[in-house]
Homo-oligomer: A and B are copies of this chain.
C-alpha cells in the first residue's frame, strides 16, 4: 500500500483526506477519469465531498506535477496519474483510450526549432486490436 500522505508532503501539499483519496483514486484508476467519475467514486467514501474540491485538487496536483491533464477533443477534462512519459491511443470504434509507448524523436528538455520542449502529449487515433478482429 502506497503512502499517499508522504507523496503529498514531499510535494509540499498538506494532506487532507480529500486530497489523499483523490490521489489514491487516480493512482488506482489509470483510465483517464473525469471529474464526474472521480466524484461518483469517492462520494460514498466522503459523503460531503464537493466537486469544487476535485477541481481545486486536480489543478493543484497538475501544478505540482503529480498528475497530468490529457488533451482531448470532447470538452471534458481527463486526468492521468503522472508516470514515465507515455502516449495515448484512442479507438474510433469503441472510444477506449489506451496507454501506449511510442518512440518519438522528441526529448524533454531539448529544443526543437528554438522551442524549448518541457512536455509532450501524443494522441494516436485509429482502430484498436479488439475492434479489428
A contact set with B: CB distance below 8 Å: 69-73, 75-77, 89, 91-92, 98, 100-106, 112-129, 132
Contact = CB atoms under 8 A, between A and B. Distances in A.
23 contacts: A69-B73, A72-B73, A75-B75, A75-B76, A89-B112, A89-B115, A91-B115, A98-B115, A100-B113, A102-B106, A103-B105, A104-B104, A104-B106, A106-B122, A106-B124, A115-B127, A115-B129, A116-B128, A119-B124, A120-B125, A121-B123, A122-B123, A123-B123
A123 B71 contact: yes
Given A71-B71, A121-B122, A116 B104 contact: no
A118 B126 contact: yes
